[in-house]
Homo-oligomer: A and B are copies of this chain.
Amino acid sequence: MKDYIKHDEWNIIEEGFDPKLNRISESLFSIGNGRMGQRANFEEQYSGDTLQGSYVAGVYYPDKTRVGWWKNGYPEYFAKVINSANWIGIDVEIEGEVLDLARCNVKEFRRTLNMRKGYLLREFSVITPSGKEVKVSAQRFCSIVDDQAGAIRYAITPVNFGGEVSVTPYVDFDVANEDSNYGEKFWSEVTKSVQEKEGWIEAKTDKLDFHVAVGMNYSLEIGNDIIEAPAQSKEKNKYLASTSSVYVPQGEELVVKKYAAIISSENHPKDDLIEVCKSELSRITSKGFDIMLKEQQAAWELKWEESDIKIEGDVSAQQGIRFNIFQLNQTYTGEDERLNIGPKGFTGEKYGGSTYWDTEAYCLPFYLSTADQNVARNLLLYRYKQLDKAIENAEKLGFTQGAALYPMVTMNGEECHNEWEITFEEIHRNGAIAYAIFDYVNYTGDQRYVVDHGLEVLIAIARFWSQRVNFSQEKQKYVILGVTGPNEYENNVNNNWYTNLIASWCMEYAVDMVEYVKNTDEDQFAQLVQKISFDENKEVTHWQAIVKDMYYPVDEKTGVFLQQDGYLDKEQVLVKDLEPKHLPINQKWSWDRILRSCFIKQADVLQGIYFLEDRFDLETLRRNFEFYEPRTVHESSLSPCVHSIQAALLGQKEKSYEMYLRTARLDLDDYNNDTEDGCHITSMAGTWMSVVKGFGGMRVKDGQLYFNPFIPDQWNSYSFKIRFREWLLKIIVAKDKVEIENRSESPITIFLSDKPLELHPLKTAMVNGH
């Protein structure tokens, strides 16, 4: 837990330079545009501790698996989004002295991430070892308008002297991943060229042959005058640079404007990369930094228009929620169905930038409500396109006949994870893939998706479950043995209630959708039957039999659903009764102790009740919530949001707010001491859900929009915007009233606290009390 970020509604601000916090700030102040991202590394040389990070979406490396003890079925590699060329670098020398904050006396230092306008600004002044005072202002952004471009304005002022300032903008592909399993570097140079103040370099990954070309150029200005200083180019393997030296009078500002074009073979033919790179570079250069920045600001203005949450009376909460929304929008724009959302986005290496079930369970609702429905649809298509790999994955584990097991961690659809209890056993993820289809269709009404893509996935998943269960002669029920539920503090358990529930639901939903597609588009259905050798009668009957006789562990005495067989054999202790020295248990306890304790990492039974809320009455929810929440240590950043939403539903406002607070500023306050690895991007969507589905009580049922809002006592008011089908609504919740503004041209009836409310086009409805 740290508290060094200044509270501000629209900006993330660090004041003063503390090298020990540098990696954390590098994560927090990351910038990105969905196509690429960049940690807040310094432009100039820095010999202190830093995690260099520049990432290009979709460009990954299959790093050979590192494992202690091999298990059959493990994948050969772990795919990771790799550190790509450093394109921000500008080495600076002041009268022959290298500018390096680790070697200077830093007088002032201020980093600002302007979330409203989408740029990073770093201002500092230092005294160099020889006593020269220098002021620097460095501003940069990854453009969301020109999404293959980055631009930097780097301004240097000699404060107490006039002298020779030499700058060396460069591009460097000779970078490494700190998490490389065997210390290998991943890039090889293809070609490069540098002349005067411009250069381009193409490199390729040593495996999979991704190519990336990075071009750069720069200009020098003093007092708005372009300086035509000569440039000296320099080349090394995987590196190019250009140095210019200028005499800068005391008190004048030398401005370096550096432009970079980052062009990936994911988006252009390999043969064209250099040409595209050159023309893109020329295009943005002629546009110029100032215009690019203006366009950037306008584009972010639009994003905020659709997704902002405004909180009055709590600057810290306001900053927290905006930071989350900002990072989510920097990470994924939804334009490319080959991309997905890594748990750290573009802010660090951890988790390899790969796709987890986080996307379906936590991120999808955010994008459904704040972006065009194609964004969410692309997240679904990502999995649809990987169905073949999911079938192969299941085959490796002994499943047959088109059963699909989606991977726990993946880049291209192949499983990357190698921890048997997760890789092979945390199979509930398959349920989230199916649930996302339901969630999408429920929210958007786009039933056609099921016909065109969804059903094929649903059948493959139902096939998996139908093979994964077995009939217990002992129980005379279908059981699911040897699984890990969402609560990863239990491994290889039998009859995880959540897994049994979601498995059964998948089969039910598949049965319903078979029926729907058959009735809706007979031809399409016939084609599918043919394509996947679907034996409708036999398979559906089998699924129905399993659904009918699925076993669910329940405590007969209390009616609480049991997380798994034998859960009540554990010593029953509540988290509040643990001495603080034992927390977090994932750092303080050995793994076996965690496993045999009753403590829960994240919602498990409650996750099931959350997903299938309509199947359970409030009393059932209350009974289970009151049993499980006190046993939950919330040591996954994905945990609190579900509890926050459910506490809201139960009218437990304080609990709901408490849960919200656990992740609202998770990264800003470095709550878990791990922000240096990158930000918790996917859990940020959970925070958004806490506000909109928790406090706002937003739901969609049968195509109708519901709100059941309350306001935390700590706030004066809050508002959020959601897109729902053709409408854009703004909901403002104050202490004593709720206003809902219909920003669209057509009317809509919504339900507020279960009462219908007609919203006229471009009008605001106000309801007192709630």
Contacts and interface: CB of A to CB of B under 8 A. Distances in A.
Contacts of A418: 68-69
Given A474-B569, A568-B474, A424 B591 contact: yes
Mostly, the A contact residues are loop
Interface in A235-283: none
A46 interface: no
A589 B571 CA distance: 35
A398 B589 CA distance: 7
Given A566-B494, A566-B565, A596-B481, A591 B472 contact: no
Nearest to A422: B69
A425 B592 CA distance: 7
Contact of A68 (B398, B419, B593): B419
A482 B596 contact: yes
Nearest to A183: B182
Contacts of A470: 569-571, 596
Contact of A473 (B474, B492, B568): B568
Contacts of A588: 72
Interface string A563-577: 001101111100000
Contacts of A494: 566, 569
Given A572-B473, A596-B482, A586 B72 contact: yes
A65 interface: yes
A210 interface: no
Nearest to A475: B569
Contacts of A68: 65-68, 418-419
A770 interface: no
Interface string A55-86: 00000000001111101110000000000000
A83 to B, nearest CB: 21
A286 interface: no
A289 to B, nearest CB: 45
A587 interface: yes
Contact of A398 (B66, B565, B568, B593): B593
Given A66-B66, A569-B472, A596-B481, A420 B492 contact: no
Contacts of A315: none
A549 to B, nearest CB: 14
A357 to B, nearest CB: 17
A584 to B, nearest CB: 11
Interface in A22-70: 65-69
A592 B474 contact: no
23 contacts: A68-B418, A71-B590, A72-B594, A73-B590, A73-B592, A397-B590, A398-B589, A398-B590, A421-B492, A425-B592, A472-B569, A473-B568, A473-B572, A479-B569, A481-B566, A482-B592, A492-B492, A492-B493, A492-B595, A565-B565, A565-B566, A565-B569, A566-B566
Rank and list the top 4 A-B pairs by shortest CB-CB distance, nearest first. A73-B590, A424-B592, A482-B596, A474-B568
Interface of A: 65-69, 71-73, 396-398, 418-421, 424-425, 470-475, 479, 481-482, 491-495, 565-566, 568-572, 586-596
